Amino acid sequence: MTSEQWLTEQFEDSRTHLKAIAYRMLGSIAEADDAVQEAWLRVSRANTDEVENMRGWLTTIVSRICLDMLRARRARREEFGDEWLEEPIMSLDDSWDPEHDVLMADSVGLALLVILEALTPAERLAFVLHDMFGMPFEEIAPIVDRNPTATRQLASRARRRVRGAKPEPTAETLAAQRKVVDAFLKASRDGDFEALLEVLDPDVVFRADRGAAGAPGPVEYRGSARVASAVLERGSRFAPYGRPAIVDGRPGLYVRIDGHLISVLRFTVDGGRVTAMDLVLDQRKLRRVRI
């Protein structure tokens, strides 16, 4: 076996592990794939003669790549005022494949990935590598350019924020919320204004992210009557194509026409009514959604 073959074999043996780290770091299957591919490009050009712990070395490489990607993402949000996730995180009842099951195993779930988005890149990396993968702080510290004590503090801050976040909905809660969303979808399909008012909270907020092709900033409507009118005026023709999904750990819908993903809609349901709706129309983001 040549050295190139040996290196390829070592990398492939660690690929699932590396992709799991990248997915938890980035919250995106597509970006996780990109990070692992970039890691391979760097590894294939590197001198590995003095590498003693191949998996640890590979973990460090993919972690640095993810950290750079998170920092770039954060800079884009600061520049454009983007309050949305880089892409909606979706699951369908029948869409999971074995590889995705591996990535979603352990303590990570859709809601946790959403919570992690609120952390700084360094906090997220420290928390993921230590709390999810058991990596010592001494090994994490060089990646985030801090000493082990400061790195431990990063993970501790992240841990407190994760624990203080709203817990992930139970299956029973999601089922009850799904009934509300189903009623919303039926009213939209029927063009029933009064039925929409029944499922919308009086102070409901509707936000639409149209991306670079739309007007600057998200569109926002407030109040049940205004939101219901907007839904019937602009959304009824798409309602027949609406299909249920879990979006960022919450009940949602997606519209796909002729194989093309048109939109993703996330609902916040409280007290049996819809209190918030977040619509993603940005094609840049939708192209990276895996359904």
Q: Are residues 125 and 248 in the same domain?
A: no
The reported pLDDT for the residue numbered 163 is 81
Separation between Cα atoms, residue 93 and residue 19, nearest integer Å: 23
Separation between Cα atoms, residue 277 and residue 283, nearest integer Å: 18
The reported pLDDT for the residue numbered 207 is 87
The reported pLDDT for the residue numbered 117 is 77
Q: Among 209, 210, 26, which residue's Cα sits nearest to residue 114?
A: 26
Sign, CA torsion 12/13/19/25 = negative
The reported pLDDT for the residue numbered 104 is 41
Q: Among 41, 42, 49, 38, which residue's Cα sits nearest to residue 3?
A: 49
Which of 131, 164, 197 finishes a domain?
Answer: 164
The reported pLDDT for the residue numbered 170 is 58
Question: Which residues, at least 6 apart from 17, have a Cβ–Cβ distance to it below 8 Å?
Answer: 55, 59
What does the DSSP assignment read for 49-108?
TT-S-HHHHHHHHHHHHHHHHHHHHHHHHHHHT--S-SS--EE-TT---HHHHHHT-TT-
Residues (pLDDT < 50) of the chain are: 80-83, 85, 93-108, 217
| End-to-end alpha carbon distance in the chain | 40
Q: Are residues 12 and 129 in the same domain?
A: yes
Q: Are residues 83 and 138 in the same domain?
A: yes
Q: Are residues 79 and 217 in the same domain?
A: no
Separation between Cα atoms, residue 176 and residue 198, nearest integer Å: 16
The reported pLDDT for the residue numbered 5 is 86
Q: Among 66, 62, 57, 67, which residue's Cα sits nearest to residue 18?
A: 62
Q: Are residues 236 and 105 in the same domain?
A: no
Number of folded domains that form the chain: 2
Range of the domain at 235: 171-286
Give the strand pairing for 260-270 and 200-209: unpaired
Separation between Cα atoms, residue 157 and residue 178, nearest integer Å: 34
The reported pLDDT for the residue numbered 89 is 60
The reported pLDDT for the residue numbered 102 is 43
Task: Phi first, then psi: give them for residue 43, nearest 5 degrees.
Answer: -65, -40
Which of 164, 192, 217 finishes a domain?
Answer: 164
Residue 291 lies in a domain: no
